[in-house]
């Protein structure tokens, strides 16, 4: 039976009911101060648990967020969607949804992590009914980020493979005649010769059916693409070794925590910008580059009325901002309590969207050059996802002077863009996992062992993606497990919990306690009204306009493949409503009493210094009575 005392207005869960032993108090009865939950690691404390880590300097946090949020999606996904949805017209819904959805939730997740000093699960102690000891909102984000960590690293493994193959005098995807090439391989498509009938052996129709060595290298050598999901085939050992190398690299960059991760991202987050600038300078000097940039920015106003434009803009914002994954919450939890997270969130959001827009110029300057070289329309060389990164770009570097150098430079950048996102994704998952462990379970090398187990488990699952049918498995993960649908669903519930259950004004006051002033009221309005409406509207559009999953416009997934995909999606989406219903049914008392009990925040001891109204921390331990609204629930264990 849970025992509580309400002495002096402080609710405290009895020691017998907690997972960890009590934390020592200060000389006046107040909790001893610490950097994490107060008292942890403080002199005289009864727990031999180190205090929660903090960033060595605030720039470590900024660079980690840049590294995580700015990734591969900014380089190939945003420019493609801009091209697909009417060029410059796409920027209108993109900016609007960023203002009413992306930036407010980006700020909410960082500030919530900083205020609660906890990872993606324990952060929902702010409203325990959505966290609890069973799956809830925190667990949903953990499931999503685990899926994302599992499949995202495959792009890095492919990039690493291309990087290794770039160290040669002649790029292997530049020419035909290799073991993986077929008889349809053609190195140069001379359409003008075909039109003049100077190619005696090929008609124009036959030439159109021929295949580029870039495509054959990608499909026949790297992927060794099978007939479908039902034909898994054998492991590709070369790509498997690249995958193993990526996981080993991730492990040694994450195992020591934010002290090491915060240093590594200084390089991994900034170097891609250097490469992008170099590629832009090189790209704009190529013939046809201006045509590509004009095509990128040219508006097609007729597409603005299409629901798909708004769906793509919404999913791109949530995907590129890394919303709903719990990693931003974990990063924010390592901030100092008084850090100005409001300013940080605005700066980071601008960097993210600015990078996407800048990358569009880089991509389309090169695509314009490719279209001019090949004598085709630019729409035939711009493809989505891995097609743009591993077909268009390799083709582009083969047409440049000193091609191996440009290839190595680009794929090294691609690797860095993905690695820092992978670092922070694993960091977010491990933070939430360790926050779950009771304080009494703390042991030396706990973090190192946890990171190792996580990396090994993900690597074993990834083996299904390095088989001949691995690309089909990869697309299942990409389309369902961490897609825009699941992220929109997660963001909707986050807004509901903070704005309507906990209280938007109440949380604005909490932020004011941290940064010294209340943020712009626009944030509160978005959390309460605009963002939930946008999230649910795009979510419904996604469901209504859902189409069967297809690979490369030719292979349609079987029904059981679709079922596996929906199982991925529902494994995170059902966490919130099922646990919400289960908690209400298990609780005792009238419905109103159950709700009041289950939504009462559970504070860590570090909140006492900031949470008390009209009294300082020591005043809370006196016999002065406090009002009902000033009561604070304290859990005397590690959050």
Annotated binding site for Na(+): 67, 69-70, 74, 320, 352, 417, 420-421
- Which tokens belong to 560? 């059981």
Q: How far apart are CA 521 and CA 500, in angstroms?
A: 16
Q: How far apart are CA 255 and CA 259, in angstroms?
A: 10
Q: How far apart are CA 566 and CA 305, in angstroms?
A: 29
Dihedrals phi, psi of 289, to nearest 5 degrees: -60, -40
Residue pair 392/166 in contact (Cβ under 8 Å)? The answer is no
Provide the total of helices (H) and of strands (E) in the chain, helices listed first.
Answer: 28, 5
Match 């963002």 to its residue by tokens: 531
Residues 6+ apart with CB under 8 A from 444: none
The residue among 182, 185, 181 whose CA lies nearest residue 212 is 185
Helix (H) or strand (E) holding 556: strand 555-556
Match 């314009």 to its residue by tokens: 368
Q: How far apart are CA 106 and CA 331, in angstroms?
A: 12
Q: How far apart are CA 265 and CA 260, in angstroms?
A: 9
What Å distances lie between residue 543 and 308, 330, 467, CA to CA? Answer: 12, 30, 31
Q: What is the DSSP letter of 587?
A: S
Q: How far apart are CA 284 and CA 505, in angstroms?
A: 50
- Please tell me whether residue 530 adopts helix, strand or coil conformation: helix
Residue pair 574/139 in contact (Cβ under 8 Å)? The answer is no
- Please tell me whether residue 291 adopts helix, strand or coil conformation: helix
Q: Which residue numbers belong to the known binding site?
A: 67, 69-70, 74, 320, 352, 417, 420-421
- Please tell me whether residue 152 adopts helix, strand or coil conformation: helix
Residues 6+ apart with CB under 8 A from 137: 124, 130, 131, 490, 493, 494, 497, 575, 576
Residue pair 591/117 in contact (Cβ under 8 Å)? The answer is no
C-alpha angle 599-605-606 in degrees, rounded to nearest 5: 105
Residue pair 250/48 in contact (Cβ under 8 Å)? The answer is no
Residue pair 48/39 in contact (Cβ under 8 Å)? The answer is no
Number of Cα atoms under 13 Å in the Cβ half of residue 390? 25
Q: What is the largest CA-CA distance in the chain?
A: 101
Beta-bridge partner residues of 556: 550
Residue pair 85/106 in contact (Cβ under 8 Å)? The answer is no
CA 66 to chain centre: 11
């Amino acid at each position: 039976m849970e025992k509580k005392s309400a002495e002096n207005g402080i609710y405290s869960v009895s020691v017998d009911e907690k997972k960890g032993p009590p934390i020592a108090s200060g000389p006046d009865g107040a909790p001893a101060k610490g950097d994490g939950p107060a008292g942890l690691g403080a002199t005289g404390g009864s727990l031999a648990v180190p205090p929660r880590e903090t960033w060595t300097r605030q720039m470590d946090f900024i660079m980690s967020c840049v590294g995580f949020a700015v990734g591969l999606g900014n380089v190939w996904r945003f420019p493609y969607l801009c091209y697909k949805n009417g060029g410059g017209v796409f920027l209108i819904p993109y900016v609007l949804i960023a203002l009413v959805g992306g930036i407010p939730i980006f700020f909410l997740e960082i500030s919530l992590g900083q205020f609660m000093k906890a990872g993606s699960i324990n952060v929902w102690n702010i409203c325990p009914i959505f966290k609890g000891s069973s799956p809830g909102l925190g667990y949903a984000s953990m499931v999503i980020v685990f899926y994302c960590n599992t499949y995202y690293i495959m792009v890095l493994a492919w990039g690493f493979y291309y990087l290794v193959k770039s160290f040669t005098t002649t790029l292997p995807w530049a020419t035909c005649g290799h073991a993986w090439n077929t008889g349809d391989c053609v190195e140069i498509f001379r359409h003008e010769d075909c039109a003049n009938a100077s190619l005696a052996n090929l008609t124009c129709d036959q030439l159109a059916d021929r295949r580029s060595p870039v495509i054959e290298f990608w499909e026949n050598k790297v992927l060794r693409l099978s007939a479908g999901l039902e034909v898994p085939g054998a492991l590709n050992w070369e790509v498997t070794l690249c995958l193993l190398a990526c996981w080993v690299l991730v492990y040694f960059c994450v195992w020591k925590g934010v002290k090491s991760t915060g240093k590594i991202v200084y390089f991994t987050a900034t170097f891609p910008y250097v490469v992008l600038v170099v590629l832009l300078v090189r790209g704009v000097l190529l013939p046809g580059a201006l045509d590509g940039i004009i095509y990128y920015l040219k508006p097609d106003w007729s597409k603005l009325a299409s629901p798909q434009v708004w769906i793509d803009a919404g999913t791109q914002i949530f995907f590129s901002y890394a919303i709903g994954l719990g990693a931003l919450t974990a990063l924010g939890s390592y901030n100092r309590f008084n850090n100005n997270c409001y300013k940080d969130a605005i700066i980071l959001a601008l960097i993210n969207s600015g990078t996407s827009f800048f990358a569009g110029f880089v991509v389309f300057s090169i695509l314009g050059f490719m279209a001019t070289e090949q004598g085709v329309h630019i729409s035939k060389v711009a493809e989505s996802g891995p097609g743009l990164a591993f077909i268009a770009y390799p083709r582009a570097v083969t047409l440049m002077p000193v091609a191996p150098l440009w290839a190595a430079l680009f794929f090294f950048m691609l690797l860095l863009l993905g690695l820092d996102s992978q670092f922070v994704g694993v960091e977010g998952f491990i933070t939430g996992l360790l926050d779950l462990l009771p304080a009494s379970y703390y042991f030396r090398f706990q973090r190192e062992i946890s990171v190792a187990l996580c990396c090994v488990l993900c690597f074993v699952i990834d083996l299904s993606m390095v088989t001949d049918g691995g690309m089909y498995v990869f697309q299942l993960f990409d389309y369902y497990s961490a897609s825009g649908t699941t992220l929109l669903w997660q963001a909707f519930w986050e807004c509901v919990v903070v704005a309507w259950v906990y209280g938007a004004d109440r949380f604005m006051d909490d932020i004011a306690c941290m940064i010294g002033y209340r943020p712009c009221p626009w944030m509160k309005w978005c959390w309460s009204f605009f963002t939930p409406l946008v999230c649910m509207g795009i979510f419904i559009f996604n469901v209504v306009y859902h189409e069967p999953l297809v690979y490369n416009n030719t292979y349609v997934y079987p029904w059981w493949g679709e079922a596996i995909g929906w199982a991925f999606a529902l494994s995170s989406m059902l966490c919130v409503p099922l646990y919400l219903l289960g908690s209400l049914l298990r609780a005792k008392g009238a419905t109103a009493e159950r709700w009041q009990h289950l939504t009462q925040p559970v504070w860590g001891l570090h909140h006492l210094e900031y949470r008390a109204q009209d009294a300082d921390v020591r005043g809370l331990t006196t016999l002065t009575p406090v009002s009902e609204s000033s009561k604070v629930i304290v859990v005397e264990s590690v959050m």
